[in-house]
Every structure is written in C-alpha cells, then in structure tokens.
C-alpha cells in the first residue's frame, strides 16, 4: 500500500513529520511519502523521505509569476505531485496540462477527484494514479472506506474501465491502520491522508498505527 501524507498548510513542523515518515517507511513493506508545502520541498527532501508536491501548474518556463513549475519542484527533490486536490481544483484542460508538465519533469502523478465519474475522466488523462476523496469527508476523521465504501469500489471500477494501468488511491478521514486495511479491501492501492498525521500530537506514533496491520 502507498501511504501519502499531505501536510496541506497545517501548522505542523514539516521536518518532524518528514523524519517520522522516513523512519516508519523503513519499518514496513508499505511505501510512505510526504507532500509538504512548495516552500518546504527542498528541506523536506533533504531528510531522505520520499517527497511529493501538493500541486504543479500547467505551464512551461517563462512569464508565469506566482506559478509552480514542475521542473523546479523536481529540482527541489520531489519525485511526484498531487494534481487537482479538492482544495486546489483545476479545469479539465488545466489538469491535463499539469499532468503533461509533471511528465515532462519526470514527476509521478496522482490526480484527485471527488467521485467515480470524475475518476474516470481523470484516468483518461493518463496519470500514474487517481485518488478519490469525497470533499464532505475530508478532515472529519470519518473514513471514506467506512462512510462511503461504494464510492471507493466504484472509483476502482471507473478507473479500470478507462485504463488498467492507473492505480487508485482513496482519501478523506483516514487515520488508523484499520482504515488503510479497509481501503485495500475495497480495491484501493493506497491512501491519501492529512489531518490524522499532520494534526497528531505524535505524528510518528500515528504513522506507526497506520502501517501496523500492513
Ligand atoms: O489530501 C488528503 C486529504 O484531503 C484528506 O484529508 O484530513 O481527511 O486525511 P484528511
């Protein structure tokens, strides 16, 4: 299972969480990675943890003030990027452009979507993975795998009907090892989570609990 920890703009110490993700990764067969804010990418990557960006823009080098260029993200040490997170929604054409920009920079891609229909559309753009996250469950602590298992199974079917090579992750409210196991049982190859780790008093203990049953 792939466990991708999105730090959003939570006021956690990105280096503390990064070191915890790195250390717990070394104790498990699961693959763990962290997605800090863009300004923290380089320092986080220097810890040796697998580092992801939260977003890249559908742009190339040039006059794009305030944008995030995929090549710069890669130079900062990131190996992948989220695209179209529910908190950073893009138009379809821009999702396509961001996937292409990430590919150009050799970044792995996870395109987020709200529901199975959008997952099908996202999968058609050829990312490495898609992640289904019902927005109403984000940050609630109520796991999507429990509150809405159909949405995960339908997302897996929607992606497979478009492109078998696109993996499916799920997210929203995931915070325990049981949630991760349930996500896997529904056909998901990984989870995308944030508050369960970024807002935990002890991020390392939270991560240990997440991977314990894997
Ligand atoms: O990107 C992860 C996400 O939106 C889910 O957040 O806090 O419900 O784990 P959370």
Find out whether 214 is annotated in a ligand binding site.
no
ipTM: 0.98
Write down the pLDDT at residue 166: 97
8 Å CB contact between 121 and 93 = no
The alpha carbons of the chain give a radius of gyration, in whole angstroms, of 16
Write down the pLDDT at residue 151: 96
pLDDT in tens, 16-49: 999 999 999 999 999 999 999 999 999 999 999 9
Q: Tell me the β-bridge partners of 81.
A: 53, 109
pLDDT > 70: percent of the chain: 100
pLDDT in tens, 136-174: 999 999 999 889 899 999 999 999 999 999 999 999 999
Write down the pLDDT at residue 11: 98
pLDDT in tens, 183-194: 999 999 999 999
Write down the pLDDT at residue 195: 97
Write down the pLDDT at residue 55: 98
Question: What's the whole-number average pLDDT of the chain?
Answer: 97
Measured CA to CA, the distance from residue 179 to residue 84 in angstroms comes to: 23
Q: Which residues contact 39 (CB under 8 A, 6 or more apart)?
A: none
Measured CA to CA, the distance from residue 157 to residue 149 in angstroms comes to: 13
Find out whether 66 is annotated in a ligand binding site.
no
To test ligand 1's pocket by mutation, which of 172, 180, 191, 198 has the most ligand atoms within 8 angstroms of CB? 172
Pick 2-211's CATH classification: 1.10.3720.10, 3.40.140.10, 3.20.20.70, 3.10.129.10: 3.20.20.70
Find out whether 173 is annotated in a ligand binding site.
yes
Query: Which of 40, 50, 55, 85 is an active site residue?
Result: 85
Write down the pLDDT at residue 186: 96
Q: Which residues contact 152 (CB under 8 A, 6 or more apart)?
A: 132, 144, 145, 168, 170, 183, 186, 187, 188
8 Å CB contact between 55 and 68 = yes
* Residue 85 among the catalytic residues: yes
Q: How far is CA 213 from the centre of its chain?
A: 21
* Structure tokens given for 186: 């529904």
Residue 89 has pLDDT above 90, yes or no: yes
Q: Which residues line ligand 1 (CB under 6 A)?
A: 6, 85, 133, 138-139, 171-174, 192-196
- The dihedral over CA atoms of 174, 149, 136, 134, expressed in degrees to the nearest 10, equals 90
Closest atom of ligand 1 to 86 CA is 4
């Amino acid at each position: 299972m792939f466990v991708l920890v999105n730090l959003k703009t939570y006021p956690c110490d990105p280096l503390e969480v990064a070191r915890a993700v790195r250390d717990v990764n070394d104790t498990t067969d699961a693959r763990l990675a962290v997605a800090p804010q863009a300004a923290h990418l380089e320092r986080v990557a220097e810890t040796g943890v697998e580092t992801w960006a939260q977003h890249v823009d559908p742009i190339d080098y040039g006059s794009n003030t305030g944008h995030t260029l995929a090549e710069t993200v890669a130079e900062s040490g990131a190996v992948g990027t989220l695209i179209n997170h529910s908190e950073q929604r893009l138009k379809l054409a821009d999702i396509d452009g961001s996937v292409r920009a990430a590919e150009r920079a050799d970044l792995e891609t996870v395109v987020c979507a709200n529901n199975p229909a959008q997952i099908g559309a996202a999968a058609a753009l050829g990312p490495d993975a898609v992640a289904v996250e019902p927005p109403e469950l984000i940050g609630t602590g109520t796991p999507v795998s429990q509150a809405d298992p159909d949405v995960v199974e339908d997302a897996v079917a929607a992606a497979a009907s478009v492109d078998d090579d696109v993996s499916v992750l799920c997210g929203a409210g995931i915070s325990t090892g049981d949630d991760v196991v349930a996500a896997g049982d529904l056909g998901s190859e990984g989870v995308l989570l944030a508050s369960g780790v970024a807002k935990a008093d002890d991020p390392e203990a939270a991560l240990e609990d997440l991977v314990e049953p894997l």
